[in-house]
Each structure stands twice: as structure tokens, then as C-alpha cells.
Amino acid sequence: MTLAALGDSLTQGYGLPMEDGFVPQLQAWLRASGADVDVINAGVSGDTTAGGLSRVAWTLTPDVDAMIVNLGGNDLLRGIDPAVSRANLDGILRTAQDAGVDVLLVGLDAPSNYGPAYKAAFDAMYPELAQTYGLDLYANFFASLQDGTDLMGVRVLYMQSDGIHPSAVGVGKIVDGIGPAVLSLIAQ
């Protein structure tokens, strides 16, 4: 089975040796769990949902059986209107649906610095799109890092010095968290 991971720097493995990034660690985790799967790294550092939409058609080659969509972080960092992000994600999911490719949609939680209306609109788009398309949703890419440790502790233990990108240890925890959802996706 071939699984494409469409995303941004979180998927691409920014700041890490190649073998420590999300895709190589996920592939190793899946194989250790008995899944015969090749994971394609379709992550581009700095990419927004618009960039993902522009790349999705050529990412979905005939070899791709399933796809993880992990986009939206750079939209957040740039304060892009959630309606625009949502429309781009909708286009990505529609393209995957038209290609007959099952998708695991991976969300993020918006910070509150753009105000409550922005946060509510951004946070709602992932579950609403998953429901619209009948997809599995992994609600927050960083969920497994939030294990009761305070925010400063999370940054020290699991993040690179920029406070945005996970360290190799952080990626390992993220993979441990998301891995069962990916196994469920490829079982479909």
C-alpha cells in the first residue's frame, strides 16, 4: 500500500535529519505494527492550504491508495481567513474523493490571539469537513504532546528551539498518537 502525507513543514520534517522526520518515523511505526506500507513525503515547508490544493492532483498518482492531509498551520501563522482555508481544504478533499482515495484529515487548534470568532471558525472547519466527506479526523496534530505537561514543559521536552516544530522525540510521540488512526485509514 502507498500512503501520501500531504502537508507543510510538520509533515516534511523541518529542522530534523531526514530519518527523524514525521514520514520516516510514521513509516517505521506502521511497519513495526505489521502494515506493509510505503509513506510518500508530500510535505512542503511553508506550505498553506492553497499550496496543498495546487499540489494535490499531482500528489495523487495512480499508486496512491490513501492520504493524510495535514495542512493549516501556516494559514494560522499568516492569519488567513478561515473561510479561505476551509475552501482550500474542501478542494483537496474533493480531489481525493474524485480519485477514490481515502483520507485521514489532521486538524490543529487555533490560538486565541486572532480573537474568538477566528478561533471558532478555524477550529470548526476540520470536524465539519470530516463530517461532510465522511472522513476520519485526527483532531489535533499536537494532541499527544499535551500529556498534562504545561506549555513550557512541552516546548522544552518535545519542540525544537523555534517552539513551532517538534523535535525528533516530539515527532515520536506524535507518531505514537496518530499511528492507530493511520492504521485504521489503511485498513479501509
Residues in CB range of 51: below 8 A, 6 or more apart: 8, 44
Catalytic one of 63, 98, 147, 162: 162
Axis crossing angle, helix 151-158 with helix 168-187, rounded to the nearest 10: 90
Catalytic one of 75, 85, 165, 167: 165
Burial (CB count within 10 angstroms: exposed 0-12, middle 13-18, buried 19+), residue 110:
buried
Catalytic one of 9, 85, 144, 167: 9
The question of whether 165 is a catalytic residue gets the answer yes
> What's the full length of the chain, in residues?
188
The question of whether 161 is a catalytic residue gets the answer no
Q: For residues 178 and 186, what is the distance between their CA atoms, to the nearest angstrom?
A: 13
Distance (Å) of CA 55 to CA 7, 66, 124, 158: 10, 16, 24, 30
The question of whether 162 is a catalytic residue gets the answer yes
Instruction: Catalogue the active-site residues.
Output: 9, 162, 165
